[in-house]
Structure 1
Amino acid sequence: MKASGKSAIVAVVTAVTFALTASPATAAVSSGSDFFSLDDAAAAASVTQALDVSSTTTNSDISVDLETFNVIVDGLSANGISSAGHNFDVQATIDQAISEIGSSRQTGWGMPGECIISAKRWILAGGGNWTGSGSPVANYVGAAKVPLDQLAPGDVIQYQYSSAPAVWATGVHTVLVVGVNDDGTLNIIESNNPAGSGRVQAQKNWKPQPPSDFEAVGWRF
């Protein structure tokens, strides 16, 4: 679909704001699985560049994140975890995600700092067969849907717009599960929260809390 320069910029702004905490009264959605035509890339370039976050972070920032994360996983990386039920090396995936904590990457359509692109990078690092792309549904072609109460380390949680799951809407977000606690809460690693930061971080005792009109879906490769 051919869009004007103005609409392309609006579309890119939407594309780079997969906000975890956004709770729009009416979700802003695109008209298809792609936000803008490739012909509009030049018009959108200035927006993407403005949201670029340097991949260089200070050692102090990283050390604080890693210290926090060591508490979160409680020796998970050193002890190893089971890959049972997964068709890839879950430990290698988690190790890759751990290695990126505290770093930031460029955000924007298809950029490495986006939440879903980061989750895909981590799964691929463990040899996972994440070959899907496009929409929040098409990305999980070949993956198995997992009930939220049966999630395990290595699974991915995708927030999707309930009435139109295949549409990129403000509120879409992706996280990697790295631990399941006795109380049912999760330990996760995510990227690009807050939106536009491209920053990788860990959270402990996390629960899926999708925005209004969104749902959380578990996936396993």
Structure 2
Amino acid sequence: MRVSAKAFAVSLVASVTFAFGAAPAVADAPIEDFSVASVQPVTTASQTLDTGDALAGAPIDSVLSIDDVAHVAHGYDVDAAIALAESEVGTSRPTGWSQPGECIMSAQRWIRAGGGNWGGGGDPVSNYDGATRVTLAAAEPGDVIQYEYVASPTSWVTGVHTVLITEVHDDGTFTIIESNNPGGSGLVGKNESWTPAPPAGFQAAVWRF
């Protein structure tokens, strides 16, 4: 029996519609694993205040100005600062904005104990007013390494961190003392084989008071 073109088209559309309608109404949901994203690198600890990226793209002259001189003298008693930091290893303090357990507040406390003039502003760049920025290759005991967010160096975003160098080793590693690692613990810890490992989008700035 011959079938008209119109009848054939109607039959074809119906069969396709039935095929789609016969599929299960609910498909299995895809499985996503965010466990890796929730783990922070062990060499970083975040500050507790996140100001976002409101200042993203703002030119920061002091960030771009790197002092390449072979040696700039410290202006404070490095041994006294390191002695206080060493004495606090294993202890913890409260964390939060301007609390003594925060990494930068601890570094300030140690350097001020040696008479260091750390009296800068309230962000990861202006905090170092009066300090000299040096290269990593020129880093010495008593210097501070600050992780900065490249897109907005003045923002306190997750990943910003501060450590105090207490020893420089021939293999390029450092001994450092830091606070608030892991983040929120306020714990002072010591790492005797440390190299800067800033998160993606961050850089390690070396400051000398």
Same fold, TM exceeding 0.5?
yes
Question: How far, CA to CA, are the matches of 1:145 and 1:30 in structure 2?
Answer: 25
Match of 1:145 among 133, 139, 155: 133
**Is the radius of gyration larger for structure 1 or structure 2?**
2
* Percent identity of equivalent pairs: 57
Contact 1:145 1:218 in 2 (8 A): yes
Structure 1 unmatched ranges of 5 or more: 1-16, 34-83
What letter is aligned with 1:103? T
The alpha-carbon deviation at position 136 of structure 1 amounts to 0.2
List per-residue Cα deviations over 1:145-200 (Å, max 9, x = no partner): 01011100000000010011011110000000000000110000000000000000
Question: How far, CA to CA, are the matches of 2:173 and 2:115 in structure 1?
Answer: 27
| Matched residue, 2:173 | 185
Question: How far, CA to CA, are the matches of 2:43 and 2:109 in structure 1?
Answer: 19
Higher helix proportion (structure 1 or 2): 1
Q: Say whether residues 1:174 and 2:162 are aligned partners.
A: yes
For the residue of structure 2 that corresponds to 1:106, the secondary structure is: coil
Structure 2 unmatched ranges of 5 or more: 1-39, 56-71
For the residue of structure 2 that corresponds to 1:157, the secondary structure is: strand
Question: How far, CA to CA, are the matches of 1:173 and 1:211 in structure 2?
Answer: 10
Contact 1:89 1:126 in 2 (8 A): yes
Match of 1:113 among 89, 98, 101: 101
Contact 2:45 2:182 in 1 (8 A): no
Contact 1:185 1:206 in 2 (8 A): yes
**Residues 145, 212 of structure 1: alpha-carbon distance in 2 compared, 3 angstrom cutoff:** same
| Matched residue, 1:91 | 79
TM-score of the two chains, using structure 1 as the length reference: 0.64
**Residues 110, 32 of structure 1: alpha-carbon distance in 2 compared, 3 angstrom cutoff:** farther
| Matched residue, 1:136 | 124
Give the paired residue count: 150
Q: Say whether residues 1:30 and 2:52 are aligned partners.
A: yes
What letter is aligned with 1:150? A
Question: How far, CA to CA, are the matches of 1:118 and 1:93 in structure 2?
Answer: 11
What letter is aligned with 2:92? S
Match of 2:145 among 147, 157, 167: 157
What letter is aligned with 1:114? E
